[in-house]
Chains A and B, each alone.
Chain A
Amino acid sequence: MKCPTCGAVSPPTMRFCERDGTRLVVDEAYAAGPSSTDHVEQAPTRDLGGVSDRGRRHGWNEDALSLAAEEVGEPVHVMVVCDGVSQAHNSQRAAQVAAEATRASLLQAARSSLEPSLAMHQAVQAAHEAVCAMPDGLDERPAPTKSQPPGCTLVAALVRGGRATIGWVGDSRAYRLAPDLAQLLTHDHSWFNEVVESGELTPEEAAASPNANAILQAVGPLNFDDDGQTPPPKPDVVSCDLLTGHLLLLCSDGLWKYAPEAGQLAELVRQQPRGTPPLELSRSLVDYANTRGGTDNVTAAILYRRQEGS
């Protein structure tokens, strides 16, 4: 098998390039041509939109996106981005199942005005249970050599009026962006963060490690600090005000790896004409990742807080 990135040839049974670790996509499903999940766009309203894309190097899209807008006395927006763990089987389906379960749970909670932090925890729990309950073999493109149970990251936002509540598991992220503001709202549950914050390794040392991209928590039976049990993940939840003119961006690492600083993402948004709808902004961010290599699936979802009544 020839690596699409470095050109190195690996034995036919290998699923990852022996030299640079790029996935070697060979199964028959890949040969079957483009899939419905390769490029997904959603825009429930003019102020909420998102794009999930396979990227340039992966055989299929294991990111999932789910957006919803509803009027519950006031406008309620729900955003979910999940990123299937690539070493696990059924991850594509896990990400989709988790995203849908989270969206449904958050909407239900919003309808009964449930306390947002509590709603977020319940939604992540619901996503975890839904993924754990998945039967085997659901992947659109089965990958029988994957041995780990399914799992995915999750970042979700419940926005009601001017208040956003963000919950996450793993390294999918949320940012708050405005002309004068670029703020990362989440803190990755990642091996990198753990060893750097504990002082064990310098950021440079950690980045050079094969574990550099490892996450420490996932949704689903794929667990990292567990001995055979499937305990639910412990999401972090934060709340913040979303003022008029603010953008809330949720994305998978397929995007932020190309723009690791919040300011870089803000700059990318600023390069677009003022008033560009969130769907088109999301497209531009996904395009940016793909033109920079697109080595991973890439997903971006954006909510724009418009002046009420305008």
Chain B
Amino acid sequence: MTLDTASQPFNLEAYYTPTLPESGDHLTVILAVEAAAGDMVASAQERVLVFIIDKSGSMQGRPIDAVRDSVLRGISMCDPDMTIAVVAFDETASVLVRPQKADERGQQEAAQNLQWLHAGGGTAFSTGLDLARQIFANYPDAVRRAIFLTDGVNETERPGRFEPVLHGCVGVFECDCWGLGTKWRVGEVQEIARALNGKASLIPGPQEIESTFSAAIQKAASKAVADVRLRLWTPQTTQVTLVKQMNPTIEELTSTGSRPNPRTLEFGIGSWAPGEARDYQLDLQVTPGSIGEELLAVRPSVVFRQQGQEHEVRLPTGRVVVTWTTDEALSSRINPRVAHYTGQEELAQAIQAGLQARERGDDDAATHLLGKAVKLANDSGNDEMTARLKKVVDVDDAATGTVRLKRGVSDAATMDLELESTTTKRAVRRPV
């Protein structure tokens, strides 16, 4: 069923250059999806939040005490009708707080049971993820989110176990991940967050756990619609070559697509909160038409289920249409929004390559790449990224990207920059 425009819980807009040069066969579209503010949908959806806590030996002392207090404080902040559970893992995983409402009774039981959260043992991420998956599987219609916290390397994992377990979690729940301190590996934690529609971040020390969890719980509580899908219908003349989320972070989606029928591709884009906005990039390969010919390139829509019924929200115009022109002034114009995200992606790549160069001791390349990143961040007004870069380089001139590598940079600053490199500044919403 298609909702009428007035009550639509989502708004879609497409930004692209509608004119292709003669024989032009490539098109990039930025699709902006925004959830309606206020009550997106008539009835509130059940929400389930599971804490997946690393209780390995390295968490001993302050960290595990801070986690215990923070989880408890977090649960007391939840809506009483939210379902919460706590899973703790070392090389095995166990449930500390069974799934239950976060009401007074649930909070009491959580307070009692969390006393049993003690540090010890090794670290095998898959055990915690798999147990959380089993819990979430009981709530197929709910908004299902997890908070994953570790402080170390996934070193006690049985060979060959992690990947299938993570794969099994895809679509079952979403997971924001945190690494505490600097003894964990960005890549390992990011892999979980990326697969499970979440974000990986760094918590510098135990004292910051509580504020981090508070924000994460608020985020989980705000979600109103679960299991939203981005649907792309294309005619035979179009191939979808790339789908990426570009804001708030750059996330590759192409490989996650499913094809319910030969002309339709679908991508899980998780749960949404009222007012939430995300931008997607679609790269399309089209069969070139003759000059002046109009072609329907793609019909994007957002699909979700509500009370057993599927709803589909489309572009106001319904579709993305291109035409071919000999007017080079028209066809060479790059849509500003497309250009903005091209720049943001370049920025991310420059940071990642720059950090890698620094890591392997290639200071010249690192200086060049991180200088380029400073310039790109400056050009796009991405002040947060500029601030992060300044913890790693001394900036002589941001406009030209003239920088010097800082010495004695903390691991935390480097890890934070790496983690946040894919966080983009949102394209400005003004009519183009």
Q: Count residues on chain A whose CB falls below 8 Å from chain B CBs.
A: 11
Q: Are B92 and A115 in contact (CB under 8 A)?
A: no
Chain B: interface secondary structure? strand
Q: Are A112 and B92 in contact (CB under 8 A)?
A: no
Q: Is B102 engaged at the interface, CB distance under 8 Å to the other chain?
A: no
Q: Are B98 and A112 in contact (CB under 8 A)?
A: yes
Which B residues between 80 and 103 are near A, CB-CB below 8 angstroms? 87-88, 92-96, 98
Q: Is B20 engaged at the interface, CB distance under 8 Å to the other chain?
A: no
Q: Is B134 engaged at the interface, CB distance under 8 Å to the other chain?
A: yes
Nearest CB of B to A232, in Å: 13
**Given contacts A113-B131, A115-B116, A117-B116, is CB(A160)–CB(B98) below 8 Å?**
no
Nearest CB of A to B83, in Å: 14
Q: Are A114 and B95 in contact (CB under 8 A)?
A: yes
Q: Are A114 and B92 in contact (CB under 8 A)?
A: no
> Complex formed: what's the CA distance from A40 to B94 in Å?
33
**Given contacts A160-B92, A161-B92, A163-B92, is CB(A118)–CB(B116) below 8 Å?**
yes
Q: Is B156 engaged at the interface, CB distance under 8 Å to the other chain?
A: no
> Complex formed: what's the CA distance from A118 to B97 in Å?
10
Nearest CB of A to B32, in Å: 42
**Given contacts A160-B92, A161-B92, is CB(A115)–CB(B98) below 8 Å?**
no
Partner of A118, one of B92, B96, B131, B134: B96
Which B residues between 337 and 379 are near A, CB-CB below 8 angstroms? none
Q: Are A112 and B95 in contact (CB under 8 A)?
A: yes
Which B residues between 110 and 134 are near A, CB-CB below 8 angstroms? 113, 116, 131, 134
Contacts of A161 in B (CB 8 A): 92
Q: Which residue of chain A lies nearest to B115 when distances are taken between CB atoms in the complex? A: A118
> Complex formed: what's the CA distance from A161 to B121 in Å?
15
Contacts of B131 in A (CB 8 A): 113
Q: Which residue of chain B lies nearest to A162 when distances are taken between CB atoms in the complex? A: B92
Q: Which residue of chain B lies nearest to A114 when distances are taken between CB atoms in the complex? A: B95
> Complex formed: what's the CA distance from A112 to B134 in Å?
9
Q: Which residue of chain B lies nearest to A120 when distances are taken between CB atoms in the complex? A: B116
Partner of B134, one of A113, A117, A160, A163: A113
Contacts of A163 in B (CB 8 A): 92
> Complex formed: what's the CA distance from A121 to B92 in Å?
19
Q: Which residue of chain B lies nearest to A237 when distances are taken between CB atoms in the complex? A: B116
What string of 1s and 0s marks CB contacts (under 8 Å) between A92-135 and chain B? 00000000000000000000111111100100000000000000
Contacts of B94 in A (CB 8 A): 113-116, 118
Q: Are A118 and B93 in contact (CB under 8 A)?
A: no
> Complex formed: what's the CA distance from A114 to B113 in Å?
10
Besides A113-B95, A114-B94, 15 other A-B contacts (C-beta < 8 A):
A112-B95, A113-B87, A113-B93, A113-B94, A113-B131, A114-B98, A115-B95, A115-B96, A115-B113, A117-B116, A118-B94, A118-B96, A118-B116, A121-B116, A160-B92
A–B complex contacts, Cβ < 8 Å, 15 sampled: A112-B95, A112-B98, A113-B87, A113-B93, A113-B94, A113-B95, A113-B131, A114-B94, A115-B95, A115-B113, A115-B116, A118-B113, A118-B116, A121-B116, A160-B92
